[in-house]
Amino acid sequence: MSTDSIEKLYKNYGILADAKDKVSEHEKEYLEILKAVKGTAKEKRLASQFIARFFKHFPQLADQAIDAQLDLCEDEDMAIRKQAIKDLPALCKDNKEHTPRIADILAQLLQAQDPTELAVVCNSIMTLMKNDPKEINHSERIFQPNS
């Protein structure tokens, strides 16, 4: 594991956290966090948390951030997948326009074979429903029967 990479992630987190209302001026740091989804297991878990934490400040990078989070949801390491799935609802907390897409992704993840992973998916769906019950009804996969 690259200690330098972990330190860099924490440094970027610190820069973004300390920026308060000027977070969006630090796009470079957020992009480095997005790139960490290709790193070690610890980097990936941290990246998942940090992507979700600062997602609302970078609407211009929303698609890239969601794609990065999805990469983590498909990781071979179950711990990373569970972390990423758990963090998915946070992407919608302040950006409700992403709720149908995230709900659709979670619906696809209901195919998980592991019971603990499936529980995380269900908990994430419940979190979405609590945060934005109106928008989640737009997700056809979860709430409308197949024709």
What type of residue sits at position 116? T
Under 8 Å CB-to-CB from 80, ≥6 apart: which residues? Answer: 41, 44, 45, 48, 72
The string of pLDDT tens digits covering residues 20-30 is 888 889 999 99
Q: What is the pTM of this model?
A: 0.85
The string of pLDDT tens digits covering residues 63-79 is 999 999 999 999 999 99
Positive or negative CA dihedral for 31, 13, 62, 1? positive
